[in-house]
Amino acid sequence: MLEINKITVQVDDKQLLKDFSLKIDKGSIHVIMGPNGSGKSTLSRTIMGDPRYQLLSGKIIFNNQDLLTLTPDQRAREGIFLAFQNPLEITGVSNADFLRTALGIKQSGSINLYEFIKKAEEYSSDLKIKSDLLSRGLNVGFSGGEKKKNEVLQLKILEPKFLILDEIDSGLDIDSLKLVFKNIKNYLKDYPDTSVLIITHNNKILKYLVPDYVHIIKAGKIVRTGTSDLGDLLETEGYEQLGDEDENFK
């Protein structure tokens, strides 16, 4: 579904990804872990097309299409969804209006208002989101956990093909974490061809959503890859002690 081929990315004259490569097959779950400043969030922003992140070289192919020719909104319409680490607050735009507008754009203006309201209320209930959050400004006054639940509400409404979950666990207590991943797992059961890229510091979330691959990134490159056992090893060894076994991973 996604092929990243030797990309080098620069932000404010600083290279954060260097000859970075990764392939993600349809229906697979990949986890990226690494120390602060290693390039994890840079990867998510680059895939999504954030203009602040300058691609110096390399290619990104999504479903056989050159992703670099598409604007961020076009990438979203193609089915790429980024759950933000720190979702923005937007005053004056209600949560329901935002969701309805986004869904209308995806469906080229064709939207059944009754069906939309029914789904929004049903999915809000699944996530134990308070009913008034749909009518409030987008993320305005939401707690950290409510913002993350709202990101999952968005993906359930918009039904993307490729999920990028950037530290989706931050700001969530243990009960909310279980609930969020229960909803994500149910979504993947309903849409088994969906691919997932999880960016996290928290090895514990690997128990809620077992990945096919775990990648360790340092200084802008994947230096080691494995299964969820690698996450367990990381928890005991740490990044420095773990070392770099696979510096040429592609």
The rounded distance, in Å, linking the Cα atoms of 248 and 250 is: 6
DSSP letter (8 states) at residue 191: S
Average pLDDT, the chain: 88
Range of the domain at 232: 2-242
Domain count, the chain: 1
User: CB–CB of 138/93 below 8 Å?
Assistant: yes
Give the CATH number for residue 205: 3.40.50.300
Taking phi over 0 as left and psi of -120 to 50 as alpha, with beta for the rest, 22 belongs to beta
**In-domain check, residue 232:** yes
Provide the Cα torsion 203, 205, 208, 210; round to 10°: -50
Q: What is the pLDDT of residue 49?
A: 92
Q: CB 128: neighbour CB atoms within 10 A?
A: 13
pLDDT digits (tens, 9 = 90+) for 33-65: 988 778 888 999 999 999 999 999 999 999 999
**In-domain check, residue 249:** no
User: Strand 65-66 and strand 221-226: pairing?
Assistant: unpaired
**In-domain check, residue 247:** no
Residue 68, classified by CB atoms within 10 Å of its CB into exposed (0-12), middle (13-18) or buried (19+), is middle
**In-domain check, residue 238:** yes
**In-domain check, residue 96:** yes
Q: What is the pLDDT of residue 211?
A: 92
User: CB–CB of 33/205 below 8 Å?
Assistant: no
CB neighbour list of residue 132: distance below 8 Å, 6 or more residues apart: none
**In-domain check, residue 199:** yes
Q: What is the pLDDT of residue 72?
A: 92
Q: Which long-range contacts (CB under 8 A, 24 or more apart) does 204-210 make?
A: 204/169, 205/168, 205/169, 205/177, 205/181, 206/31, 206/231, 206/232, 208/177, 208/178, 208/181, 208/182, 209/29, 209/181, 209/184, 209/185, 210/29
Low-confidence ranges of the chain (pLDDT < 50): 247-250
Paired tokens of 7: 């990309």
The rounded distance, in Å, linking the Cα atoms of 178 and 176 is: 5
The rounded distance, in Å, linking the Cα atoms of 87 and 156 is: 16
**In-domain check, residue 115:** yes
Can you give the pTM of this predicted structure? 0.89
Please give the helix or strand (H or E) that residue 3 lies within, else none: strand 2-11
User: CB–CB of 133/146 below 8 Å?
Assistant: yes
**In-domain check, residue 75:** yes
Q: What is the pLDDT of residue 250?
A: 37
